[in-house]
Every structure is written in structure tokens, then in C-alpha cells.
Amino acid sequence: MGMTITQKILADHAGKKAVEAGELINCRVDVVLGNDVTAPVAISEFEKLGKEEVYDREKIVLVPDHFAPNKDIKSAEQCKIMREFARAKGIKNYFEIGQMGIEHCLLPEQGLVLPGDVIIGADSHTCTYGALGAFATGVGSTDMAAAMATGEAWFKVPETIKFVYYGKLPAWVGGKDLILHTIGDIGVDGARYMAMEFCGEAISSLSMDNRFTMANMAIEAGGKNGIIVPDDVTAEYIKNRARRPYRFYQSDDDALYYEIREYDVSALEPVVAFPHLPENTRKVSEAQGVKIDQVVIGSCTNGRLEDLEIAARILKGKKVHPEMRVIVFPGTQQILLEAMRRGYIETFIEAGAVVSTPTCGPCLGGHMGILAKGERALATTNRNFVGRMGHPQSEVYLASPAVAAASAITGEITPPWQV
């Protein structure tokens, strides 16, 4: 019996010829990631181990992005812990103000995560890197501490659900709509502790930015990881980014899947997830008319250059609704700089939006965009749980950059073809 791409990567990193779903294995890891919420806990646990050095100073990545730029004294102390640890241990990949970005946009951009890697991060959306053909998953801070010390992590080999998307994508439909449609179909626990393998002609036609969006939200269906078999699009993306050797894996034709689901994308339209779960999805035409108070364009889900280009194209020459607050968060400093060069930032500001430095702030209700009681936000982020972006009696609707930009103009959820 053949193996899936997920099984092959895990087998090689466990030093085994083959692995089966349900098997417990110990794997060497290529990257260990932490942020300003999770890394300080991991650092504390690491110090309890009595280890003088981390296992590899180049394979640990620390990115203070959730409450940075620091919003208060407590968040400043969190970042100080990370900064001092990075200096003391000689950790090369520490990114703060001026170099930082939203971690899951930053690491692929910098070539720190590559096809065939095993990547763990003390952040649930570490699954983003599966878009490159890597096994990437979120872990707890204690697992991060152990990996910093040993360079290894243990896993139960997940079963795999294969999602096949065929047909040509309609206008304004992209990766965000595909993954929201999928989560709406299987539910927020429909792929619990399973690998979600995305394939088909519609996936092959997606840009890397759209692929990152899809893999990013695998965790919102309960997935252990999301993954896309690498191809020419992947190769072109990493060509000038890779800092070390990498390997392309692919699933065997006779690999065993838990389930195979197929979707005809040719009739899809943009999707909106209503409060308070990503599975609560509707077509944008069915969501039309819902009044909103704030639009957020950005995050590790949709803060990349292509996302900003789509939003700028819609907002060009138009004005944000006078009762709306619109906040744009580029994913990294490099994305921000390129968006400036292309005129997107000027478009946003002239339209009446505000542009922020890269940060996770509003996505998790941390800072720079908190919602008050009774307010509604339409966001290109990945979660809309109760209180996710502020007051527990606020509401978050999830959508693509196209729907977000169109809705920013009208003050209510609006299909992009209507503005």
C-alpha cells in the first residue's frame, strides 16, 4: 500500500521506510516557531530542563507579532523575554520591529520554511506552510520547549482526507472562498486530527498566496495539517528564497485515504462565514445587506500582496462609507514596501482607510481594532468565535479581500461585482 504526502514526510523524518495512520512516531524537526504569546512559556519550560544551548540556533524562529508593537507593559515584558533569550542563545532568526511581520506570512517570504519540511509552531495556524508541500502543525508551548532542546517532536500519524476541486474558478472566487466552502461542508471538527490534502485542477491554478490562505485555515476544520503537493508554482515561489536543501514529495496513486471529497468550483460565488463559527457559511448574495461597523483587511490568512492588490483594485477612486472604520494590515514589511511601490497604500489612504504596520493585533482582539459591544466587523481573518475581536457581544464575519473591500464602500456586506 502506498503513502500520502503527509505519511512520506513523517516517515522520512522519523527514519522509517513507511508509517501508517494511527502510529506514534518521533520525528526530527526542521523549524521550531514561537511568538510573543507562546514563546515566553516555552522559554520558561526550556530553562527548567537545564540545557545550556538550543539544539540548533538556525532552526528556531522567534517572531513577536501578536501584541507588537507592544500595546502595554505586559506585552513589552513578553517581547523582552524573547529578545533576551534570542541574544543569550545566539538564535539567528529573531524578527522584531522593522524586520518583523505576521509570522505565517514572514517565514515563507524569508525562505525559512520549505517543501518536505517538518515544522512545528506554538501557534495553531502553523499549518499555513503546508501550502509549500511541508508537514506543518501547531503545538503547545511545552512541546516547543522540548523541540528547542532536542530537535524532535512526537506525533500520531494522521489519517488523510483528500479534497479534490475541479472546474474553473469564477471571477472574484479564490482560496479563501474555497476553504470557507469546505469548512461549511464538513464542519469545524470535520477533519479532526486529520491531514487535509487539497488537490485538483482548481488548486493547480491557484497562486501561492491563495494556497497559503487555504492551508492556513485547515485548523478551522480541526485538521492536524493542511497540505498541497508541490508543483511548478511552488518551485517558482521558492526558487530565490530557499536557504537550504529541500525535497518535493507527492502522494502515491494507491495511497489510502480516510475519505475523498470532490467539489465543482465552477458555480461558486464568494463565501461569507457568519458568527460565531467558520462553518456558518453562506453565499455572499445571501449575506448581502448585513450592516457592519468595521472592515479588517490583512492577517496571516489574507495579508499578502495579492490580497492587497485585489482590495486596492476595488477601492481605487472610491471612498470608504462614512460610518465605516477600515483597517489594512500588510503581512510583512516587505509586503508593505512593495504595496507602497505599486500605489496600493496610497489607494487605501485616499479611500479613507488606515494602514497599520504588520501585526496580529485586531485578529485576536489584542489591539489596534477592538470591537465594542454590539459592533460588527467583516474581516479577512480566520476565526469568528464569540469575543474573538473584542466584546463578547460583538460579531465577526469572515470573507475574502474582494468582499471586504466592496463592503467597506457600502457599509454592508456586498458582492464585489456591485461596486
Same domain, 322 and 250: no
Please give the pLDDT value at position 401. 97
Give the model's confidence band at 68: pLDDT under 50 very low, under 70 low, under 90 confident, else very high. Answer: confident
Tens-digit pLDDT profile for residues 372-383: 999 999 999 999
Final residue of a structural domain among 262, 291, 319: 262
CA 75 to chain CA centroid, Å, is: 22
With contact defined as beta carbons under 8 Å apart, do 317 and 405 qualify? no
Question: What is the separation, in whole angstroms, between the first and last Cα of the chain?
Answer: 52
User: Going by C-beta distance under 8 Å and a sequence separation of 6 or more, which residues neighbour residue 78?
Assistant: 36, 37, 40, 64, 67
Same domain, 64 and 82: yes
Same domain, 221 and 279: no
| 254 and 285 inside one domain | no
| 3-class SS of residue 32 | strand
C-alpha Rg value of the chain to the nearest Å: 20
> How do strand 152-156 and strand 24-28 relate by DSSP bridges?
antiparallel
* Residue with cell string 511568538: 35
What distance separates the 2 farthest-apart alpha carbons in the chain? Answer: 61
277 in the same domain as 324: yes
Measured CA distances, 376 to 220, 233, 274 (Å): 21, 37, 11
Strand partners, 398: 273, 379
12 and 135 in a single domain? The answer is yes
* Mean pLDDT along residues 152-176: 96
Count each helix (H run) and each strand (E run) in the chain, helices first: 15, 18
Grouping H, G, I as helix, E, B as strand and the rest as coil, residue 155 is strand
Q: What is the mean pLDDT of the chain?
A: 95
Last residue of a domain, one of 214, 233, 262: 262
**Both 181 and 286 in a single domain?**
no
Q: Average pLDDT for residues 268-280, to the nearest whole number? A: 96
Cβ atoms within 10 Å, residue 40: 20
Q: Do residue 258 and residue 275 come from a single domain?
A: no
CB 243 within 8 A of CB 112: yes
Same domain, 255 and 297: no
Count: domains in the chain: 2
Q: What CATH number did the domain enclosing 12 receive? A: 3.30.499.10
Q: Does one domain contain both 154 and 18? A: yes
In this predicted structure, what is the pLDDT of residue 115? Answer: 98
The residue-averaged pLDDT of 225-241 equals: 96
Do 224 and 141 lie in one domain? The reply is yes
Q: What is the pTM of this model?
A: 0.94
* DSSP annotation of 412: B
Of 202, 232, 262, which one is at a domain's C-terminal end? 262
Q: Which amino acid is at 301?
A: T
Give 100's pLDDT tier (boundaries 50, 70, 90): confident
Do 67 and 184 belong to one domain?
yes
Range of 161's domain?
5-262
| Amino acid 367: pLDDT | 87
